[in-house]
């Protein structure tokens, strides 16, 4: 059976962060109803003839679920699907929602990778962006996760935060190196409509670092983490050898995946489909139909080729030209020769015959490169 990745969305948080535009809500009283719907949707797809190669429970904050709810969700998944014995199983967690008991039940349920949202070691910045934890609180929970047996931990950092200086971000990176997590994700702040930060920006009250400072933070992350033994394998992601996120690599290498929960996206057999976004609509639709799919789209060959190369260019090693030929029966150069030529002239990509990849300059101007491949 062909393997697919499984994503499950838990859209609840204790508090919405000022920068967050994810599909998340603070109405925790709906958690039991939502979980019932998730289990019903899991059951709906239980006849899918695929092996699950990786599981990723994201949010929101999945660890707002209590010590009984977390294992019951995992049990539903294990009961419904054919699970690969060596799968990577990640759960996202906010430090303030972690307890020893939750870590214990996650380990017992087979979760073997934890993704912790730190964002910064600066308590003033944490408060300014609406995080509910402190740096000290994060450290306590990080070590608690280690004691619980988690030997594969990702930590998220954000740079380009309001009034953040380059040295502030470098300080966070160096403190993180002392902890030696297996994986680090570094994201540039994006101010999206519908967030508290967007409102402040519109009023002229959001004081962000300059573009040059923001780029210096990114370059500092690459230098400091690579010197610390991490491989920069995707635009925003760094890993110790062999600890790359296998689930996310499915997305970036144009693999197939099933997404469950409010707003979750799936891609199977060349068809992209996604669930209704609002969690209350999701609960109603699952109650009515067993699934919550809002829209399906059969992608054209042209669209699939474009997505393959745009996602593949996110990887530092680039797009494998042989894989492109195997998948589409065409030479990459025959389809995108002109685009590749233009991007080479701009020094945004290089082509070594086997891979097409972003240059150092291209990593900074990735979106400019991606646009060239849109149909």
Structure tokens at 70: 């977390």
List of domains in the chain: 3-252 (3.20.20.70), 317-370 (no CATH)
C-beta neighbour count of 14 within 10 angstroms:
12
Question: What are the start-end ranges of the H helices in the chain?
Answer: 31-44, 69-80, 100-108, 123-128, 135-147, 166-179, 196-202, 211-227, 246-252, 279-289, 301-313, 321-328, 332-345, 360-364, 366-371
**Among 108-122, 194-208, 353-367, where is mean pLDDT lowest?**
194-208
C-beta neighbour count of 165 within 10 angstroms:
14
Strand partners, 79: none
Structure tokens at 375: 């149909």
Mean pLDDT value across the chain: 96
Q: What is the pLDDT of residues 108-159, one digit of tens each?
A: 999 999 999 999 999 999 999 889 999 999 999 999 999 999 999 999 999 9
Helix (H, G, I), strand (E, B) or coil at 190: coil
Residue with token string 């199977």: 268
Q: What is the pLDDT of residues 73-89, one digit of tens each?
A: 999 999 999 999 999 99
CA-angle at 266, arms to 374 and 187, nearest 5° = 65
pLDDT on residue 1: 59
pLDDT on residue 21: 83
Q: What is the pLDDT of residues 287-344, one digit of tens each?
A: 999 999 999 999 999 999 999 999 999 999 999 999 999 999 999 999 999 999 999 9
Helix (H, G, I), strand (E, B) or coil at 63: helix
Helix (H, G, I), strand (E, B) or coil at 64: helix
Question: What are the start-end ranges of the H helices in 97-182?
Answer: 100-108, 123-128, 135-147, 166-179
In percent, the amount of the chain with pLDDT more than 90 equals 93
In percent, the amount of the chain with pLDDT more than 70 equals 100
Task: Give me the mean pLDDT over the 176-192 stretch.
Answer: 96
Q: What is the pLDDT of residues 6-55, one digit of tens each?
A: 999 999 999 988 888 888 999 999 999 999 999 999 999 999 989 999 99
Task: Give me the mean pLDDT over the 230-255 stretch.
Answer: 97
Residue 196: Cβ-neighbour burial (10 angstroms; 0-12, 13-18, 19+): middle
Helix (H, G, I), strand (E, B) or coil at 329: coil
pTM of the model: 0.96
Q: Is 171 a residue whose pLDDT tops 70?
A: yes
Cα Rg of the chain (Å, integer): 21
pLDDT on residue 375: 86
């Amino acid at each position: 059976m062909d393997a697919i990745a499984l994503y499950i969305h838990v859209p609840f948080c204790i508090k919405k962060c000022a920068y967050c535009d994810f599909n998340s809500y603070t109405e925790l009283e709906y958690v039991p109803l939502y979980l019932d719907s998730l289990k019903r949707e899991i059951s709906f797809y239980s006849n899918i003839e695929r092996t699950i190669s990786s599981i990723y429970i994201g949010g929101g904050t999945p660890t707002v679920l209590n010590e009984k709810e977390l294992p019951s969700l995992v049990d539903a998944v294990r009961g419904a699907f054919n699970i690969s014995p060596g799968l990577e199983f990640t759960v996202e967690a906010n430090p303030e929602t972690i307890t020893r008991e939750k870590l214990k039940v996650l380990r017992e349920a087979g979760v073997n990778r934890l993704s912790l949202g730190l964002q910064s070691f600066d308590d003033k910045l944490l408060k300014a962006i609406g995080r509910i934890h402190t740096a000290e609180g994060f450290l306590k929970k990080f070590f608690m996760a280690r004691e619980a047996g988690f030997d594969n931990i990702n930590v998220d950092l954000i740079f380009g935060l309001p009034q953040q200086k380059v040295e502030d971000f470098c300080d966070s990176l160096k403190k993180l190196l002392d902890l030696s997590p297996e994986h680090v994700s570094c994201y540039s702040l994006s101010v999206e409509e519908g967030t508290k930060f967007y409102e402040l920006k519109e009023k002229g009250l959001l004081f962000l670092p300059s573009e040059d400072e923001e780029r210096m933070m990114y370059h500092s992350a690459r230098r400091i983490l690579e010197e610390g033994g991490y491989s920069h394998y995707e635009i925003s992601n760094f890993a110790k050898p062999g600890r790359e996120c296998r689930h996310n690599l499915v997305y970036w290498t144009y693999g197939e995946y099933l997404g469950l929960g409010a707003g979750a996206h799936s891609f199977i057999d060349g068809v992209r489909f996604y669930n209704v976004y609002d969690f209350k609509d999701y609960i109603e639709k699952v109650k009515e139909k067993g699934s919550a799919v809002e829209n399906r789209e059969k992608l054209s060959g042209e669209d699939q080729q474009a997505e393959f190369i745009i996602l593949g260019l996110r990887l530092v090693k680039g797009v494998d030209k042989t894989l492109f030929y195997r998948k589409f029966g065409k030479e990459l150069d025959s389809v995108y020769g002109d685009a590749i030529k233009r991007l080479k002239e701009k020094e945004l990509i290089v082509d070594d015959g086997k891979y097409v990849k972003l240059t150092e300059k291209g990593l900074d101007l990735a979106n400019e490169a991606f646009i060239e491949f849109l149909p």
